[in-house]
Structure 1
Amino acid sequence: MSTQFFAKTSTEINLFQGYPSFDQLTRDEAEKIQVSLLSPCGRFMALATAETVHVFTGVEFTQSLLRVSLKDVYDLHFSPSGNFLSTWERPSISEPDHKNVKIWELNVETPSETPRYAYQAKMQNGWALQFSKLDNFALKQFDREVRIVKIDSADNATFNFSKPYSKLVPEQPISSFLISPSEFPTICTFSPEKSGKPAILSIYSIAEGVTEKKIATKTFFKADSCQLKWNLQGNAVLCMAITDFDSSNKSYYGENTLYLLSFQGANGTLGGKSVRVPLSKEGPIHDFTWSPTSRQFGVIYGYMPATITFFDLKGNVVHSLPEQPKNTMLFSPTGRYILIAGFGNLQGSVEILDRHDKFRCITKFDAANTSVCKWSPGGEFILTATTSPRLRVDNGLKIWHVTGTLCFVKEYKELLKVDWRHQISSKLNKSHVIKFQETSTEDSFSDPKLGKIEVEVHDSATEYLSKRQKKNGASSGASSKPAGAYRPPHARRAGGAPSVPGAAIRNAKVVPGTVGVVPGVSGKDSKAAAKNRKKRENNKNEPSPGAEALTVDETAQPKVNKEASPEEKKIRSLLKKLRAIEALKLKQASGETLEDTQILKIQSEDKVAKELDFLGWKSDGAQ
């Protein structure tokens, strides 16, 4: 694997060359790095400090492409083809009209230090413009309408939203929209439920002038907000509708429903379809994602243990897995392998399924405390990381092979971000002015089920595994006592604690109906108890009772025999009081302050002893 990946801390960025060498290139910045980002095309890396924004390119990001003086930049955004970089500055109180969003053009031989377009966005959520896959359209919402400009590189990339290429004005105000990732894009809009009117989900085709042709639409209730996901082909979109409150009071996070809108032909010339995805179990939707083939999608939903189901483009169930505690699903870039895992508040168990082999599980491994999980661009490796501030301990990253082998480990004191560097697409490379050639390409790998893979493990992974084995071995050998059932305090003191001076402990007596021994008590069985025990032994043909002897110091209380006589039950009750008195006397001898009711219980010891003697419980003596 030649694909690179990077890790960001507060003061440096580590770039790794990938399998098998994992060579590291450290970029040490004098100032604190506030935010960094890799472009989707893999050509650029942008980082922002307190005073500047810097864009690098090249095989190892050593070539400086653009450097501008810009203060308080806290967010970055690349267009899909990497031709434009958007920066978001913290709004200025002293300058109410300050345009804190700026767009910089990078796909030129010498990028200008003057932004191509600037506007104001006070909120950090949804501040960036939406670009089409080829960066030839840009979208921005103005109150109730969405304006679309067509970007012509020959026209110096103008963003004239006052004279847009097209306008989209839905019948209801929209709260969110998303352009499809296809070369001939469409737009999905969502209008929330309001004033008794249902929510509306629609797909529009872009047309010059006014965009008003609906390809597909769906109306429904119980939708205050939504989450949209297009498939890669851009002919189907999933919408998870979310309510702020759950009417059944079963969830803190509201109710979730999933809808599917799809169409056929260019811009829906062959018709569209909208369905509600049939989820067979109540509860929240933990994750939903498209296959890279764009023909299937998977959903993890329901109260734990969750249900995992795969659907086709028509919303029909393709396959379901047994219920299990999972909340994350990731398809590999080739679409063959599916990663399902339980992260967050779950234990971090990971399974890899083979889509071509009836969803068979090919490997399992544990990645505890994972906050970031991503497939490599070639689909052979998996990157898992524990980052801050999600977790401030055990920060670090791990590289796993698809067979479950841990290949590389890098630990950090504070790790803020990790990501793969994607390879530039050959289709998009034709229009790119800024290019670079990678030294090698990611090697293909054999199918795990064929057993032809020999994964080379880095020394860091070997050292990490050996440390864990030593740690686990030391912790397991710290205590020689095996884990067993719970023992009450009086039993623990009686079994192992040294005797307390001045504490009177009565001699052992045998509990009627059992052959167990009460600590510190001894005596003879009553006649009724002996008769009942002998009758049970003859009826059940059991071996000698001595083979099944139960000591009271190993159980919370003796087993009650259904055939026990009233005298036996009374004796057991009195012995229970006697054990409680002995426990209180131990507390009193150790200097612990007792309540008045506890002192009265201690004073009733003689009365309890007399009742035992009256019922035939003979003591050999008292200390």
Structure 2
Amino acid sequence: MAVPNLAVRGSTGMALYQGLSTFEPVSNFPSDVSPACKFFLFGPNGKHFAWISSSKVILVKTSDWKIIVEADYPKAAQLAYSSKGTYLVVYEPFITTPSNPKGSPNVHVIKTTDGQLVKSFEYRDYKLWIPQWSSDEKICARFLNGDVLFYENSNFDNIVYRIKKLKINNYSISPGNQPLNVLCFLPAKSGPSNGRLFQYPEFNTFIANKSFFQADRVEIFWNIKGTATLLLTCTDVDKTGASYYGKQGLHLITTKGDTSQVIVNKEGPLYNAAWSPSSKEFCVVYGFMPSKATLYNLKCDSVMEFGTGTFNAIYYNPFGNILLLAGFGNVQGNAELWDVNGKKKIKKIEIPDTTFLQWCPDGQHFVTATTAPRLKVNNGYKIWHSSGALLHEKPWGKEELFQVVWQNYPQGTFKTPTICKAVEGITSSQPIASKQVYRPPHARNSDFKPTSLHEESSETKTQSKAYLKMKKKREAKRQAKLEVENSTDNKQNVKITDELVVNEKQLRIKKIKSDLKNINRLKTIQSSGKELDSNQIARLKLENSLLDELKKIQL
């Protein structure tokens, strides 16, 4: 059986370790100890490994770790692979100079077999610079000035199709087998924005269209089979003032043409959404802290509740039978492991200061890491078992750790792991923050009792009779004044309360009439022969209850 490897990069360079059992460095790996190592990436099937070192891009075969490509790209900053790993894409920031005011192509597509340059493109904006390939690599798409360009059979000199004049802000092509589908986000300055699904190459008509308000940007999540996608919409500013993160919404679009909004039952932000590898379910974390996690099916019905906790991230293992919910950033570093099929919690663990988490391809282990520049102290990584046991940790000392990545492996390399009982682990050397009340140094290891700010001093007990008499009179006078003020306030409060009740009734009547108006509009649409989605049909069913409520309020 293959032993998963773990690549790490820090201020001392780059190295490759055996991710399980011995945790020792891989002997024949050409380690790069230069601090100029900027970025690395495994190919999608794990057959290649590439990294940027100083002004060069280096590519090796993982079968023997021998260098097959060493090309000069002085400004290289990012790397990406095609879906099958046939091509490596190198990104350089777009720069103009007095000698070259128009700039030069800065995105380069090269072959992973020999490093031959296939094509170079110019991207002035960093956004959407990565070309997207279909699963069989027969079709490639790239973004250009609001349009999406398509190439076939790796012929980048001939644009076969183009989605144009829609002012696209974001797009994503479906994974999985043919037919290929393309989802485009069309923002609007006034009126609703749209998520529009096309089937390649029929771009004159669309399969599905989902309209929604309050969307400045979107994140697109396809399931593995490419049969459905989630759109997580977000505004830059929440005009209601409820959150400084903006306002979010979650929508589902399927390749059958079905669209619906995912309804959550707790107010607050939508932190994350993730598909199960089965492609039949997805998990959402939402709501003000403590947040809530729920599992939904393809009809957007809730099928399982994971309760509440300090969660804002979701991680399925590659086989989908274990789910990890975690909280990073400005929330407490806790994580919960769940048996999805058995619908029970496996264990809750503490992972403080974690900035990165990734499941191992074997589905039985995962790595957590504290990396710079997010955190520059206590850098290092830990390897855990799915039962919640800590198996290995490697502190980075005073140096900085930048990147930790598992090696990818072809599908079928590992078998679905069983949910096993706790295995023997180790105790972390990382100090855990004390939950006890702080005591000053002179009070430690003693029976010292902290003083109270309101504790009566010994001087009060020895006050003179005259002082105590005057104090009693002042308190009586203060109490009489408070009683007079309270009686006046009560009269004013009664008047204000009556006004508030009237205003609340008027506002509720206005809201009900607005809802009834929308229901009548939906009836008109339905009578014209158009089909309504599940949310609109649910609104129609509310008509009788709204009419009854309106009669009661107006009595």
TM-score, structure 2 normalization: 0.76
Aligned to 1:371: 355
Once residues 307 and 74 of structure 1 are traced to their aligned partners in structure 2, the CA distance between those partners, rounded to angstroms, is: 37
Q: Per the alignment, do residues 471 and 222 of structure 1 end up closer, same or farther by CA in structure 2, a change over 3 Å counting?
A: closer
Does structure 2 retain, via aligned residues, the 8 Å contact 1:73–1:89? yes
Letter in 2 for 1:99: P
Aligned to 1:83: 86
Q: 1:101 aligns with which of 82, 85, 107?
A: 107
Q: Which has the larger radius of gyration?
A: 1
Letter in 2 for 1:84: Y
Secondary structure of the residue aligned to 1:211 is coil
Tell me how far 1:524 sits from its aligned partner. 11
Does structure 1 retain, via aligned residues, the 8 Å contact 2:290–2:308? yes
Structural mapping, 1:323-338, within 5 Å: 323-338=308-323
Aligned to 1:405: 389
Letter in 2 for 1:337: I
Aligned to 2:518: none
Does structure 2 retain, via aligned residues, the 8 Å contact 1:166–1:206? no
Aligned to 2:208: 216
Q: Per the alignment, do residues 476 and 203 of structure 1 end up closer, same or farther by CA in structure 2, a change over 3 Å counting?
A: same
Secondary structure of the residue aligned to 1:570 is helix
Letter in 2 for 1:89: E
Does structure 2 retain, via aligned residues, the 8 Å contact 1:309–1:320? yes
Instruction: Say if 2:259 is the partner of 1:274.
Output: yes
Tell me how far 1:336 sits from its aligned partner. 1.1
Letter in 2 for 1:83: T
Q: How many residues align?
A: 461
Does structure 1 retain, via aligned residues, the 8 Å contact 2:370–2:380? yes
Aligned to 2:61: 57
Q: 2:304 aligns with which of 319, 330, 340?
A: 319
Once residues 72 and 475 of structure 2 are traced to their aligned partners in structure 1, the CA distance between those partners, rounded to angstroms, is: 84
Once residues 209 and 273 of structure 2 are traced to their aligned partners in structure 1, the CA distance between those partners, rounded to angstroms, is: 21
Does structure 2 retain, via aligned residues, the 8 Å contact 1:147–1:168? yes
Give deviations 1:355-414, integer Å, cap 9, x for gaps: 1122x1111110001100111112101110000000000000001101111001011121
Tell me how far 1:30 sits from its aligned partner. 4.1
Tell me how far 1:214 sits from its aligned partner. 1.6
Once residues 165 and 46 of structure 1 are traced to their aligned partners in structure 2, the CA distance between those partners, rounded to angstroms, is: 31
Aligned to 1:289: 274
Q: Per the alignment, do residues 10 and 72 of structure 1 end up closer, same or farther by CA in structure 2, a change over 3 Å counting?
A: farther
Once residues 448 and 387 of structure 2 are traced to their aligned partners in structure 1, the CA distance between those partners, rounded to angstroms, is: 34
Instruction: Say if 2:20 is the partner of 1:19.
Output: yes
Letter in 2 for 1:361: K
Give deviations 1:427-479, integer Å, cap 9, x for gaps: xxxxxxxxxxxxxx65765422xx3x645x4xxx55x44x7489999x99972
Instruction: Say if 2:284 is the partner of 1:299.
Output: yes
Does structure 2 retain, via aligned residues, the 8 Å contact 1:193–1:222? no
Aligned to 1:198: 192
Q: Per the alignment, do residues 23 and 169 of structure 1 end up closer, same or farther by CA in structure 2, a change over 3 Å counting?
A: same
Once residues 418 and 245 of structure 2 are traced to their aligned partners in structure 1, the CA distance between those partners, rounded to angstroms, is: 43
Letter in 2 for 1:334: F
Does structure 1 retain, via aligned residues, the 8 Å contact 2:46–2:62? no
Once residues 470 and 220 of structure 1 are traced to their aligned partners in structure 2, the CA distance between those partners, rounded to angstroms, is: 44
Once residues 303 and 393 of structure 1 are traced to their aligned partners in structure 2, the CA distance between those partners, rounded to angstroms, is: 29
Q: Per the alignment, do residues 395 and 100 of structure 1 end up closer, same or farther by CA in structure 2, a change over 3 Å counting?
A: same
Q: 2:338 aligns with which of 317, 329, 353?
A: 353
Structural mapping, 1:382-401, within 5 Å: 382-401=366-385
Once residues 302 and 444 of structure 1 are traced to their aligned partners in structure 2, the CA distance between those partners, rounded to angstroms, is: 33
Letter in 2 for 1:104: I
Aligned to 1:7: 8
Aligned to 1:420: 406
Q: Per the alignment, do residues 316 and 483 of structure 1 end up closer, same or farther by CA in structure 2, a change over 3 Å counting?
A: farther
Give deviations 1:500-553, integer Å, cap 9, x for gaps: xxxxxxxxxxxxxxxxx8525767999xxxxxxxxxxxxxxxxxxxxxxxxxxx
Aligned to 2:419: 447
Tell me how far 1:350 sits from its aligned partner. 0.7
Q: Per the alignment, do residues 64 and 318 of structure 1 end up closer, same or farther by CA in structure 2, a change over 3 Å counting?
A: same
Instruction: Say if 2:246 is the partner of 1:249.
Output: no
Flag structure 1 segments of 5+ consecutive residues without an equivalent: 152-156, 264-270, 427-440, 492-516, 527-565, 575-623
Once residues 253 and 141 of structure 2 are traced to their aligned partners in structure 1, the CA distance between those partners, rounded to angstroms, is: 21
Stretch of structure 1 that moved more, 25-34 or 122-131: 25-34
Q: 1:339 aligns with which of 314, 318, 324?
A: 324
Aligned to 2:44: 40
Q: Per the alignment, do residues 286 and 32 of structure 1 end up closer, same or farther by CA in structure 2, a change over 3 Å counting?
A: same
Q: 1:260 aligns with which of 252, 260, 275?
A: 252
Secondary structure of the residue aligned to 2:278 is coil
Q: Per the alignment, do residues 320 and 30 of structure 1 end up closer, same or farther by CA in structure 2, a change over 3 Å counting?
A: closer
Tell me how far 1:19 sits from its aligned partner. 1.5
Secondary structure of the residue aligned to 2:472 is helix
Q: Per the alignment, do residues 225 and 237 of structure 1 end up closer, same or farther by CA in structure 2, a change over 3 Å counting?
A: same
Secondary structure of the residue aligned to 1:73 is coil
Once residues 469 and 310 of structure 1 are traced to their aligned partners in structure 2, the CA distance between those partners, rounded to angstroms, is: 32
Does structure 1 retain, via aligned residues, the 8 Å contact 2:7–2:406? yes
Tell me how far 1:338 sits from its aligned partner. 0.9
Letter in 1 for 2:347: T
Does structure 1 retain, via aligned residues, the 8 Å contact 2:10–2:35? no
Give deviations 1:138-180, integer Å, cap 9, x for gaps: 10233343221112xxxxx3212xx32322236x321010011
Q: Per the alignment, do residues 444 and 177 of structure 1 end up closer, same or farther by CA in structure 2, a change over 3 Å counting?
A: closer
Aligned to 2:32: 28
Q: Per the alignment, do residues 200 and 44 of structure 1 end up closer, same or farther by CA in structure 2, a change over 3 Å counting?
A: same
Aligned to 1:266: none
Q: Per the alignment, do residues 311 and 568 of structure 1 end up closer, same or farther by CA in structure 2, a change over 3 Å counting?
A: farther
Secondary structure of the residue aligned to 1:125 is coil
Does structure 2 retain, via aligned residues, the 8 Å contact 1:222–1:243? yes
Once residues 414 and 22 of structure 2 are traced to their aligned partners in structure 1, the CA distance between those partners, rounded to angstroms, is: 13
Letter in 2 for 1:66: V
Q: Per the alignment, do residues 30 and 396 of structure 1 end up closer, same or farther by CA in structure 2, a change over 3 Å counting?
A: closer
Once residues 483 and 243 of structure 1 are traced to their aligned partners in structure 2, the CA distance between those partners, rounded to angstroms, is: 54
Q: Per the alignment, do residues 93 and 167 of structure 1 end up closer, same or farther by CA in structure 2, a change over 3 Å counting?
A: closer
Once residues 148 and 193 of structure 1 are traced to their aligned partners in structure 2, the CA distance between those partners, rounded to angstroms, is: 25
Once residues 280 and 334 of structure 2 are traced to their aligned partners in structure 1, the CA distance between those partners, rounded to angstroms, is: 27
Q: Per the alignment, do residues 292 and 142 of structure 1 end up closer, same or farther by CA in structure 2, a change over 3 Å counting?
A: same
Does structure 1 retain, via aligned residues, the 8 Å contact 2:362–2:417? no
Does structure 2 retain, via aligned residues, the 8 Å contact 1:289–1:299? yes
TM-score, structure 1 normalization: 0.68
Q: Once superposed, what is the RMSD of the aligned Cα atoms?
A: 3.0
Aligned to 2:445: 480
Aligned to 1:510: none
Aligned to 1:166: 161
Tell me how far 1:257 sits from its aligned partner. 0.8
Q: Per the alignment, do residues 55 and 523 of structure 1 end up closer, same or farther by CA in structure 2, a change over 3 Å counting?
A: closer
Does structure 2 retain, via aligned residues, the 8 Å contact 1:169–1:212? no
Give deviations 1:547-597, integer Å, cap 9, x for gaps: xxxxxxxxxxxxxxxxxxx969729979xxxxxxxxxxxxxxxxxxxxxxx
Does structure 2 retain, via aligned residues, the 8 Å contact 1:310–1:319? yes
Give deviations 1:258-288, integer Å, cap 9, x for gaps: 110013xxxxxxx320001112222211111
Once residues 357 and 525 of structure 1 are traced to their aligned partners in structure 2, the CA distance between those partners, rounded to angstroms, is: 74
Does structure 1 retain, via aligned residues, the 8 Å contact 2:96–2:103? no
Aligned to 1:228: 220
Q: Per the alignment, do residues 519 and 361 of structure 1 end up closer, same or farther by CA in structure 2, a change over 3 Å counting?
A: same
Does structure 1 retain, via aligned residues, the 8 Å contact 2:94–2:103? no
Stretch of structure 1 that moved more, 348-357 or 142-151: 142-151
Tell me how far 1:249 sits from its aligned partner. 1.2
Tell me how far 1:212 sits from its aligned partner. 2.7
Letter in 1 for 2:405: D
Once residues 447 and 162 of structure 2 are traced to their aligned partners in structure 1, the CA distance between those partners, rounded to angstroms, is: 73
Aligned to 2:182: 187
Q: Per the alignment, do residues 137 and 469 of structure 1 end up closer, same or farther by CA in structure 2, a change over 3 Å counting?
A: closer
Once residues 37 and 340 of structure 1 are traced to their aligned partners in structure 2, the CA distance between those partners, rounded to angstroms, is: 25
Once residues 425 and 320 of structure 1 are traced to their aligned partners in structure 2, the CA distance between those partners, rounded to angstroms, is: 30
Letter in 1 for 2:52: A
